[in-house]
Amino acid sequence: MRRWIDAGLLGLIIMIHLGILWRYDTAIPASMPPEEYGLMDLGRNIISGSGIVTRVPSELFPFPDRPQPFYVPVITYAAVLGAWGSLRGFDLAPLREFSRWLSALDLVLIFLLARRWDIPRPLSLLAVLWTALDVVYQLTGNIIRADRFCLTWGMLGILAFMEAQERRAAMPWWALSGICMAVALFAHAWLAAFTTAWLTLMALRRHPRALPIFLAPIVTAALLWSLHMLRHADYSLQISRLLVQDKTTMGMESLLILGLGVSTLGQVLGAYPSNSPIWLAPLVTVTWAWKRGRLRWPGWRIGLIWIAYLTGYLNRHPWYAGWFTPFGYLAVAGLLASLWPSEPGKSARSLRIALLALSALWVVYQGHAVWQNVQAAPRIRAAHQRFFEALARDLPLNASVWLFSVPDPAFYLTRARPDLRLFIGTGYFVFPYPWFWDRIDRMVFTSSWVLPKGVLPPYRTEREWQMPAVLIEYSIMETRPLR
């Protein structure tokens, strides 16, 4: 009977989470260049048999009629996204649905992982609820990016890894764990690489005979990707050199702020209210409880949580924080389980009441930020639609247009104005082709983004839109380069 109650409560949390994401629709977060449109095109080319290539020109590869090899290892995600798109359509809304269903599946995996970590059922469900209401987790579950797909396979790999450590006939589980981590690794190399390395180290220390079984699918996938890269070595080296030369990378101060988790306190991307804690505080507390023997977890589990934290936060991309969110709330639930008194008495009862009240207050705090987003979503979606329609009317016939705005109008313009030649801004402002701006008739970009001096040519503003987000308003400009 208890299992049915747990399943019902878990299903209710998932329904609430999916309802929130469907309410956000394509408005929250606003469509982002270049990933969403670029990954759509990559997935469509893979599923159609055209190869691991994109046909979306940009300032890095401004050749509309030539397919460009794709150099980032997101192949597993792109292939599955292409299969989904072939069934549901290659547009923003249906492709975001895929991420939402993955987000729901991850909530189930969080519950299973919590139970495997001996967290009591009520606290396991509480960890799932906290994760489902976390705005950072919601935003990364409502965007076309490989992060959520990578998290799904990463958690599957961790679950299989734990089964392999505890079963006698463990070889199939070692192989399954390796396959899952290989899929995660080639969905998002950065997010999965350090977790894979940590599991490899644990296997080497405790189960060295199983290590070849675990590593076989990972090494096979790496060799296949290396062959793909060697086929396009010249292009891969050129792109790598441009990224190294890029002058817009974050400084140490910004990385430190991200690493402390302060970037998600109060706001996400400067536009959406956040309800994530400053994760460093609970993680230090969890580690202290483990060192003192209050939290009876194996050391590899504490190390795994820290690896996930540093992977999610110590980088220049705020989207990666959603990778860590489930692990953070699992750690907090484990800490609460270690503090929960089992003996009777007035002091124990008071402590239980205090812990329950603190947990309920956090849910209320999370709900306030979610409600702000839910209320704002229709207004933001309507503003996006007006912007897309006006831009489609204004742009000259057969124009070449460089797009670097949020929301990204590429999906809409592809449907409404097939005569246009679209170039998608990448955010890496090292231009290998000096003649690029000579071929551009219009530039559409978010004016508040700080672009390095000298990146854009002199221009005249043709039109400007005020675009709402939840916390701010910002402007988008349509401009004409001056010849």
Yes or no: say if 295 and 123 are a contact pair by the CB < 8 Å rule. no
Q: What is the DSSP letter of 210?
A: G
Residue 69, beta-bridge partner list: 53
Residue 176: the pLDDT is 96
* pTM of the entire predicted model: 0.92
Least confident of 71-75, 291-295, 417-421: 71-75
Both tokens assigned to 207: 């189960």
How does pLDDT run across 237-246, given as a tens digit for each residue? 666 665 555 5
pLDDT tier, 247 (very low <50, low <70, confident <90, very high otherwise): very low
Q: Which residue has the higher pLDDT, 17 or 348?
A: 17
Torsion angle of the four alpha carbons 414, 419, 425, 429, in this order, in degrees rounded to the nearest 10:
170
The mean pLDDT value of the chain amounts to 87
Both tokens assigned to 47: 């599923």
**Mean pLDDT, residues 317-328 taken together:** 87
Helix 171-185 / helix 211-231 crossing angle, nearest 10 deg: 30
Residue 396: the pLDDT is 95
User: Contacts from 460-463 at CB under 8 Å and sequence distance 24+?
Assistant: 462/394, 463/390, 463/394
Does 401 score more than 50 pLDDT? yes
Query: Cα–Cα–Cα angle for 403, 406, 412, nearest 5°?
Result: 65
**Mean pLDDT, residues 213-229 taken together:** 89
Residue 349: the pLDDT is 75
**Mean pLDDT, residues 258-268 taken together:** 54
Residue 248: the pLDDT is 47
Domain boundaries, the chain: 2-375, 376-481
Both tokens assigned to 78: 């792109």
**Mean pLDDT, residues 138-156 taken together:** 95
Yes or no: say if 266 and 135 are a contact pair by the CB < 8 Å rule. no
Residue 332: the pLDDT is 95
Q: Which residue has the higher pLDDT, 434 or 450?
A: 434
- Return the top range by mean pLDDT from 55-64, 80-89, 352-361: 80-89
Residue 431: the pLDDT is 66
**Mean pLDDT, residues 118-144 taken together:** 94
Which burial class, exposed, middle or buried, applies to 368 when counting CB atoms under 10 A from its CB (0-12, 13-18, 19+)?
Answer: exposed
Residue 242: the pLDDT is 58
Q: Residue 153, SS3?
A: helix
